[in-house]
């Protein structure tokens, strides 16, 4: 997908869904001015009589595109719904591109496409078109033949980067025909399955999620591993990732190869960083990218997962919030903030109790300034809100089962939050009183 330099930088500063986000400070002021207590969020959750999703008073949900539903292309909805993003579509529609975290094998639902990347692999993406009320219009397979499409991220030029959380290679017995561990790009406006093109220079590792800084075109990447790194990809041409570029990993100055999970970082304390270049982003051995970065002093994070870009209107700076799912003293999760203009990183949130936050995974910056975290824990999962001053609150609870939340994102107008329950595979549209401005 080609993008002119002029068009690309016209989009700079906008959110991936096409809406400029309020700064966290503005979101906090808006709610305080209206009398809402930030630490309580939207209030106590109300038990859902249908036993699916508990929400605060005034909020409601609808569901659609469940696993095994018949899609518009005649195939069935694959399972294991995961990362997702929303885009503005034609004629006031909303386009969702959704991942499916499925492995390899000959049996089971898969994204049925005419040209899969690897025929035995069941992962991929589906594209959904909904109206302004969050009602499904159509859905179809848009990429297939990949493995464990966990998360990814939207781009400011209107596409979804889907990430493989897998580094398997053909070994003569697993049936694979191609190496895995790559990112792939799916234009949001695609009306049929796209040809899978691995973005090799973005690295071959256990990818989790990506976020693009629209000011520079730099793509930031997370890695799901117990000692993962935080990466950035500098493309040769902004907006044209397939043309290659340079992969780098973050290093905290003066603390080479520091373990950010166990080194006693205090919240809101800024640390200067620089970046080390990965010599071989497409190695043939497993976990080699991470080893290359560590050997150069890159910082370690305990399971890097969700990441989201925010333009802070108060400071004018870019912000990248990303999650360390198992980070922190008790291993229940952290959220980190990287500011490119300052070249600093800081701990934004660290869970001190699994009751307040356990295993945050996907993340989104809401139009009203808060963070929304999708939990992937073991004792009942919530959507947790985080205020700009780092206070946590409960926004939703999975009353159906112990499956994780994933793929949280907002419609371009900020009125609908879409989210997935991974198993049995359900997409939900949540509406309610998001804004409390007078």
pLDDT tens digits along 87-96: 999 999 999 9
pLDDT at 39 over 70: no
Domains of the chain: 5-431 (2.120.10.30)
Question: What's residue 35's pLDDT?
Answer: 27
Predicted confidence (pLDDT) per residue in 291-309, tens digit: 999 999 999 999 999 999 9
pLDDT at 22 over 80: no
The pairing of beta strand 360-365 with beta strand 371-375: antiparallel
Tokens of 166: 């897998």
A 10 A CB-CB count for 408 gives 28
Tokens of 401: 């089962």
The structure's pTM equals 0.91
CB 241 within 8 Å of CB 232: no
Question: What's residue 24's pLDDT?
Answer: 40
Q: What is the largest distance, in Å, between two alpha-carbon atoms of the chain?
A: 64
Question: What's residue 436's pLDDT?
Answer: 54
When pLDDT is cut at 50, 70 and 90, the band that residue 2 belongs to is very low
Predicted confidence (pLDDT) per residue in 134-154, tens digit: 999 999 999 999 999 999 999
Question: What's residue 310's pLDDT?
Answer: 98
What lies within 8 Å, CB to CB, of 67 at 6+ separation is: 76, 77, 78, 79, 81, 109, 424, 425, 426
> Nearest Cα to 55, choosing from 392, 358, 397, 385?
397
Q: How far apart are CA 148 and CA 170, in angstroms?
A: 16
Q: Is 103 exposed, middle or buried (0-12, 13-18, 19+ CB in 10 A)?
A: middle
Predicted confidence (pLDDT) per residue in 97-126, tens digit: 999 999 998 777 787 899 999 999 999 999
Q: How far apart are CA 275 and CA 234, in angstroms?
A: 11
Question: What's residue 9's pLDDT?
Answer: 37
Q: How many residues does the chain have?
A: 438
Over the chain, what is the mean pLDDT?
Answer: 90
Question: What's residue 401's pLDDT?
Answer: 97
């Amino acid at each position: 997908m080609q993008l002119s330099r002029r068009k690309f930088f016209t989009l700079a500063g906008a959110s991936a869904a096409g809406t400029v986000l309020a700064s966290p400070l503005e979101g906090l002021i808006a709610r305080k001015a209206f009398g809402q207590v930030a630490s309580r969020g939207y209030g106590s959750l109300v038990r859902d009589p249908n036993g699916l999703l508990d929400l605060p008073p005034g909020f409601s949900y609808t569901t659609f595109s469940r696993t095994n539903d018949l899609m518009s292309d005649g195939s069935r909805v694959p399972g294991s719904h995961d990362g997702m993003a929303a885009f503005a579509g034609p004629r006031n529609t909303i386009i969702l591109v959704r991942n499916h975290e499925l492995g390899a094998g000959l049996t089971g639902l898969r994204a049925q496409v005419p040209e899969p990347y690897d025929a035995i692999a069941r992962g991929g993406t589906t594209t959904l078109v909904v109206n302004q009320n969050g009602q499904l219009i159509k859905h179809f397979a848009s990429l297939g033949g990949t493995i464990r499409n966990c998360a990814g991220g939207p781009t400011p030029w209107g596409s979804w980067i889907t990430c493989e959380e897998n580094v398997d290679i053909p070994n003569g017995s697993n049936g694979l025909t191609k190496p895995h561990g790559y990112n792939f790009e799916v234009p949001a406006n695609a009306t049929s399955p796209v040809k899978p093109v691995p973005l090799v220079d973005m690295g071959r590792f256990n990818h989790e999620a990506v976020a693009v800084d629209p000011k520079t075109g730099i793509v930031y990447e997370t890695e799901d591993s117990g000692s993962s790194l935080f990466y950035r990809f500098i493309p040769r041409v902004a907006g044209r990732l397939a043309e290659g570029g340079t992969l780098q990993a973050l290093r905290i100055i003066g603390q080479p190869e520091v373990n950010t999970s166990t080194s006693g970082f205090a919240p809101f304390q800024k640390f200067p960083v620089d970046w080390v270049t990965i010599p071989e982003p497409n190695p043939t051995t497993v976990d080699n990218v991470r080893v290359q970065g560590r050997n150069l002093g890159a910082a370690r994070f305990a399971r890097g997962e969700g990441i989201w870009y925010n333009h802070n209107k108060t400071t004018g700076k870019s912000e990248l919030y990303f999650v360390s799912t198992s980070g922190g003293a008790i291993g229940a999760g952290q959220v980190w903030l990287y500011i490119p203009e300052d070249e600093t990183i800081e701990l934004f949130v660290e869970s001190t109790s699994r009751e307040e936050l356990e295993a945050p995974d996907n993340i989104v910056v809401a139009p009203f300034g808060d963070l929304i975290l999708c939990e992937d824990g073991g004792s009942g999962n919530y959507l947790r809100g985080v205020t700009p001053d780092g206070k946590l609150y409960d926004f939703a609870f999975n009353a159906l089962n112990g499956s994780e939340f994933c793929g949280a994102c907002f419609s371009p107008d900020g009125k609908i939050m879409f989210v997935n329950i991974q198993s049995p595979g359900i997409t939900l549209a949540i509406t309610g009183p998001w804004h409390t401005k007078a």
